[in-house]
Each structure stands twice: as structure tokens, then as C-alpha cells.
Structure 1
Amino acid sequence: MFGLKGKSFLTLHDFSSEQINYLLTLAGELKNKKRMGIKGDLLTGKNVALIFEKPSTRTRCAFTVACVDEGAHPEYLGKNDIQLGHKESVADTARVLGRLFDAIEFRGFSQEVVTDLAKYSGVPVYNGLTDLYHPTQILADLLTMKEHLGELKGKKFVFIGDGRNNMGNSLLIGCTKMGVDITIIAPKSLWPEENHVKVCEGYAKLSGSKVEITESVEAVKGADVIYTDVWCSMGEEDKAKERIALLKPYQVNEALIAKVENPNMIFMHCLPAVKGYEVTEEVFESSYSVVFDEAENRMHTIKAVMVATLS
């Protein structure tokens, strides 16, 4: 359906708005089926390799449960379990795994690795997170927004914090492709790369949305979504002290929420959260926080990706 059979899921750059919308619709249907206790068989007989260079809670659990729910077998491969990129090249590992598995998930550092896995394996490859992109998270975010806001097109989405990380990059793509106005609020040194912004502005022109990159926290006014992420991504722990100093004015707290002036807004976070830094306990635990709906939706949207590309 929509040209998704056999397709890898490496970045949302590779997907049209129609394909993304189809995945969101399918995720909603699969979520309803699970809520009704209906056991699925759409992935029966499939074997999925789960490669993890980086630790994970939501991504690992979401892929595992999604596989089992629809009859597939997930095989976890930690960084010490295989020779990927060490004693064996990525290309050779990909060609071996492609003969043994029906699909491969990769969560690690390099986008080049997940791209090469897709290039050489001959099976669908899913990006569970790299330093550049986190596309499965964005699908969960979009589904959560649809559930709470009713629609996507024309909504105002504000990401505040480290704007040049994998979440900032991926949210720019997802929002602009789906007609969501996106504002990234960050100190200028942490703005997304100019070339990436220009590409996403092109998507925005097609969908009728807008892109704003600013240092001003006043830009939260009228937001339908306030979104933040950790100030130090995995592998950047040595920069924690300077990041905290730089990003302290961008903390999501009750004073910032008051500037939004939208009683129907929601707060989102991809988790894990470092409460007291990028977000306060009060906001995280508030009635408008939907972070655990968002976390659950990782599984439903990942299941949709696998069903659409494998069944």
C-alpha cells in the first residue's frame, strides 16, 4: 500500500505526506485492535533483527512487543553480541543478516551505518535512532497530536531547547510534511543546520505550513504543542555543564507555559526526561502533559511501519 512494501524507514525525508498519513491511520487501527484484545498475525513467520549500539527503553520494548503482537520473532543484538563495524564490515554484516532475517532495526550513532545496512542487506531496515534522525519517534509524536488535537494541519508546534539534535532535525521534517507550523526556540549556537532548514522550508511550501527559528521564548505564544528534549544527547555528556548554563533560560516551566496563552495546549517529551533541567516536575506531571500517551504510541506506530513494509 502506498509503495511501502519492502521499503526501509531511515528518515522521513524519504516519505510523502500521504505515506506518513497512511502509517498514522494504520497505527490507529492497530492500536484499537490491541485495545480490544485482538491477537494479530500480520507478521507471522517474520524474523526481525534488533541491533542496539545505544541503550534503550522505549525503542527496544516497542519493537519487541510490536513484533510479538503480530506473530514475528524479534532477536536482540547488543553491541557486544555481533561484530558490526569492528571485526566485520557493515556491508558484510548486512549481507549476512539480510539472508537470515526479514527486517533489521538499528539504533546507534551513525546515519551512515543504518543507510549501509539498508543498501547491502536486501531487506527493510528501520532507524531506531541515530545522531541525525529519530523517525519512529516522530510518527509517535504525530499520532499523539492527532489524538489530542483532532488534526495536524494548521497547528502550531514549538520545540524548545537543543534545536540541532536528532529530534530537532526530525520534527522539522515531520511537521513541515504534515502541514504543521513549527517554531524552534534555541540559542543561535544550537540552531539546526541552515541547509536542513531550507529543505524543510521546501516541504512547508508544499503543505502550507511555516517554519520559524528564533532565540526568543516569547515565540511560544499561541502554541498547540510545547515540546522539549534532554539538553545533552547520548555521547555528549562531557558538554553537560556548558549546556545547562546555555539552555537554562529555555527550561519548560510554569512561567513559560503561562506565555503560551492557549488553554488547550499539550506538553510533549520524547523521554527519558531529566526533570529539573529541560522541564520542571510541575509541567511534566501536569494535566496537559501527554508524555506517556506519546511513549505508548511508539509501539503502535512502529508496528504500523513493520506491517506496512513486511506484510
Structure 2
Amino acid sequence: MRRRRHPGHARRGGPHPRPRGGGGQGPRERAARHPPRRDAHDRHDRRGRRVPRLPHRAAHRAARDDARRGAPPRRRGPVSPRQHGPQGRSRRALPRARRRGGRHLPPRGARRGVRRPRRHPHSQGGSVTAAPALDASALAALAGRSLLLTTDWNDAELEALLATAARLAALDRAGRMPALLPNEVAYALFFDHSTRTKSAWAGAAARLGMQPVIVDGATTQVEHGESAAETGAMLGMNVHALGIRHDRILGEGQTFLREVRRGVDQYLAAAGERRAVPVVNLQCDVDHPTQTLADLMWLRERLPGGLRGRRIAVSWAYSPSYAKPLSVPQGLITLLTRHGAEVTLAHPDGYRLMDACMERAAAQAAASGGAFRVTDSMDEAFEGADAVYPKSWGPYDLMLERVAANRARDAAALAAIERRALERNAAHRDWICDERRMALTRNGGALYLHCLPADIGDEVSPGVMARHALDVARQAQGKVYVIAALLAVAKVPDLARRLEEAGR
């Protein structure tokens, strides 16, 4: 029987006709005659067939958030069947395959018998479920609150705030931080220099979906005599949250903050606006609450079991740069003594702190079962300490002299006071946190803390700072989540439920 010739086959010796419909051709011949259009970013298999790309990670995340809100999925071009599965174009990743009996397959890249290293709590991908539980009633009680001093808040309120900060940190590291306050303005006034606090304010606001605005206080009408209350009324009219740093002059910073808050509250009441504009102390002459709360978070993370009975040294240290504010040591002794810690304050003669802060620290230590004592020996403070916090601040009597010179706007007098303060500092160059003093601490391994920037070579030796550089950076990062928590608890209704949903 004669074999039927396929229409696409040519007769022997005859011309080869144009193939119709690809008959008689294998995949390679078809790919050679009809090469696919290749884009610069496309991938292809060995036969020249285009392999669709998975969507970008950011698009994946946005589609996942849409699915959580119940919005229809967005169409963004080809998606691999491996990704969306036979049920539709859902952008949710498929669960890992299971073996018979429900056991999970080992994660990709892991070999049997090889232990994967544990992640540091600050690494990406931390567990959201490990964060402290949130008390909905406690958070609801914080609605509309400002933070001017940590002593204005009771222990339960501070615990609710710190639990919120820990939850926001866990959500952020897991890539699930919700935009709780979109399209709102977070305005900050700085009457002193800053790097970490400015970036923490901007980072916290951006993570919540707000627009951060940071302004040099010297460029405002306050420099021309506008009152703090009038400034607060105007800013309360236009912004949704307000942060202020005013720390150089004793007796002025905290007063300015309270007057600004009074102006904000009076405007909102007169206008009948039922919205919250919290005022956050970003450092004043009395306290630096966002810093000390971040310090407390870091101490709790690194000292399991809490602060009760832990020995913490807050010490003066030499600095040749400038006469620094008293607010950080004052904030530390009035916060840590509330938690049963044994706090030792060390400083040379003439560098005492404000009387109200000293009295408050002593009373709180007695009530909490801790201890508070003062010494003029840095070595004595470091002996057996679990954590040390050596930093500089200005001589108390010269800080008081600044007040009159500042009111008179006498620049020459202020410069002379600064020179005298640095000359007095220079008499105590041996007050440095070095390897010898760190060896005096508990087992020679105490935590080193600093609000930064530290004067390396003066406040702390280069070797000690090099050993603890990563830790103090992580300590500083906690301020982002403290500020975010302050804004969230003051402004977001039903915050506990929304954060629980974001963590699922």
C-alpha cells in the first residue's frame, strides 16, 4: 500500500512548498521558523518558549493586602500557574507541600541534619505572635494623650504603650506594618540639633502612613516673640500630631511644651473639632521620654527576667564638645527606679541634677523595692553593674547661668558660659568608660548604653564602642517604635483589633 504523502512534504527534486499550519514540523523547526518575540527581561526555556515571570515582590505584597481587605485582585500581567493555582488569580502564596500524615517538608535550602541559625530578635522576619498581648481597654484609655514626661503616666499606661511599641516593631520586621494614619501631617519643631530623634520621628510617621514635616524652631515666629500657646493654636489648626525638642535652657523647655499643648487644646475646644493632636516631648530640659522608653525596651530585651534587682550605673563622662543637657540622666533615674532596679548615679562635684528629679527617683526606688544612691566615684558605680550608661552633661550652676543670659539674648555671655563649662569638664578627663572600668562590671560583661552620639576617645574608649556599636544602634532604633506607638495610641480607634488583624 502506498503511503499517503503529507501535504507539507515536498516531492523529490521539486521545490519545497511553504508549510501550512506547521504540519510535519517538530517544536524545534517551529521555533526556528517563528522565533518568539523576546523582551530584555523575559526568560525562555531550551525550546525558545517564553516562561512568564512572577510579579514583583512589592506587587505581591499589595495584592495580598487587597485580599485581606476584601478588594478584588489586581491584574498585573502574566502570573505563573504555580503561583495562583487552579482556583483563580489570587496572589496569595500556596502553602508548602505536606508529606503523608501532615508533616511539613523541610524549608527550601535546608539540609537534613543541619541546624539553621536562630534569628536575632531584631532581624527581619521576627515572629509577630511573640510580641506582648495588647489590652484593648488600656489602649482605649490612652486616646488623645500627649507625652510630656514619663512621670505623667502611671505604670499600667506605660506598659500598654511599650506593648504597642513591641507589636509595631514585630509587624514592621515581618513586613506587615499597617498604614494606620494615612494622609495626616506629623509636624516636629526642633530648637536644638538632632540626628537620631529627627530620623525616628520621620520613620515613625512614615510607617504609619503619615507625612512627616520637621522644622528648625529658630526659623519660626517663636524667635520673634510669638507665645507658645499661640504657636500651639496655629499648629493644632493645621497638623495632626506635634513633636517638640526644647532642651538647652533649664526651666524653659517643659514650660514651653505645656503651653503649646494648652494652645492646641484651646483651639480644638473653641472650634468644636473632635480630633486628637497629641504633643510628644522629643527632649526638654527635664526629660527625654522617647529615648528613655527605648532604653527601657532594650534593657528588658537584653536582661531576661526584668529589671528588678539589676544594678544599673548612670554616670557622668568627660566630653570636650559642649555642655550637654541634663534631660537624659534625669529621665533615666525617674524611669528605671519605677521597675525595681538598683540605680547608681555617679558624677563629679558640681554636676548634680535637678532636685525634683532626684527626690522622685528616691521615692520611686523605695516604693518599687529597688534602690537609688549617688556617688562621686565612677569605679564604684561600675562595680558589679549589669548595665552602664556613661554620658556627659553640663555643670549645674553654669546651666542655671544660661537662663538669664538667654533671656537677655546675650550671645557673648552664652559663649563665655560655654567656655567655662568645657574648662570645668577638662578637669575630669579620667571619667571615661574604658576596658578597665568595663572589667569591673558583673563578670566583665555589662551592657553598654548611650543615647548617641558618644564622644569616642573621651566619653568612651574606641575599643568599648567598637565592641558595642551594633547594640547601641539597635537601642536607638527602638525610639522609632516608641514614637509610632505614642501617635497610634493617641489617634487610632480600636487599635488593638487593627494590630491583631495585621498580624494574622
- How high is the TM-score relative to the length of structure 2? 0.58
Q: Tell me the distance in 2 between the aligned counterparts of 1:224 and 1:261.
A: 6
Give the structure 2 partner of residue 146 of structure 1.
300
1:190 aligned partner: 351
Q: What does 1:1-311 correspond to in 2, within 5 Å? A: 1-2=138-139, 3-109=141-247, 110-122=253-265, 123-150=277-304, 151-161=306-316, 165-216=326-377, 217-231=379-393, 237-238=418-419, 239-246=421-428, 248-287=429-468, 290-311=471-492
Deviations 1:198-226 (A, max 9, x none): 22222222222110111122232121111
Secondary structure at the aligned position of 1:259 is classed as coil
Cα deviation for residue 259 of structure 1 reads 1.4
Q: Tell me, yes or no, if the aligned pair for 2:282 and 2:290 is still in contact at 8 Å.
A: yes
Q: Which amino acid aligns with 2:313?
A: V
After TM superposition, give the deviation of residue 157 of structure 1 in Å: 1.1
Structure 1: which amino acid aligns with 2:382? V
SS in 1 for 2:389: strand
In the aligned structure 1, how far is the partner of 2:236 from the partner of 2:468? Answer: 45
Distance in 2 separating the partners of 1:105 and 1:54: 13
Task: Check the 8 A contact 1:17/1:178 in 2, yes or no.
Answer: no
Shift of 1:290: 2.1
Q: How many residues align?
A: 310
Which amino acid in the other structure matches residue 198 of structure 2?
Answer: R
Distance 2:389 2:470 in 1: 10
Superposed CA deviations along residues 121-173 of structure 1, whole A, max 9, x for unmatched, are 12321111112211110011001111111222222110110698111110011
| Worse-matched range after superposition: 265-274 or 81-90 | 81-90
- Cα 1:66–1:80, aligned 2, differ >3 Å: closer, same or farther? same
* Relative contact order, higher structure (CA 8 A, sep 6+): 1
The percentage of counterpart residues that share the same residue type is 28
The answer for unaligned runs of 5 or more in structure 2 is: 1-137, 248-252, 266-276, 318-323, 400-413, 493-504
Q: Which amino acid aligns with 1:142?
A: L
Q: 1:245 offset after TM fit, Å?
A: 1.6
Q: Deviations over 1:75-120 (max 9, x none)?
A: 2221244212524221111111111112210012322111211122
Tell me the SS of whatever aligns to 1:50.
Answer: strand
Equivalent pair of 2:311/2:387 in contact (CA under 8 Å):
yes
What per-residue deviation string (whole Å, max 9, x for no partner) do you get for residues 243-284 of structure 1?
Answer: 1323x2321111111111334421001001111111111111
Distance 1:196 1:79 in 2: 27
Structure number with higher strand proportion: 1
User: Kindly tell me: are residues 112 and 222 of structure 1, through their superposed partners in 2, closer, same or farther at Cα, counting changes over 3 Å?
Assistant: same
Q: How far apart, CA to CA, are the structure 2 residues paired with 1:90 and 1:219? A: 40
The answer (yes or no) to whether the contact 2:200–2:480 under 8 Å persists in 1 is yes
Shift of 1:287: 4.8
Distance in 2 (CA, whole Å) between partners of 1:29 and 1:87 is 42
Q: Give the Cα separation in 1 of the matches to 2:470 and 2:347.
A: 21
SS at structure 1 position matched to 2:148? coil
Q: Which has the higher helix share?
A: 1
Bigger Rg, which one: 2
Distance 2:354 2:245 in 1: 22
- Aligned residues: CA RMSD: 2.2
- Code of the residue aligned with 1:161 in structure 2: it is W
CA change 1:92–1:195 in 2 (3 A) is closer
CA distance in 1, matches of 2:197, 2:386: 26
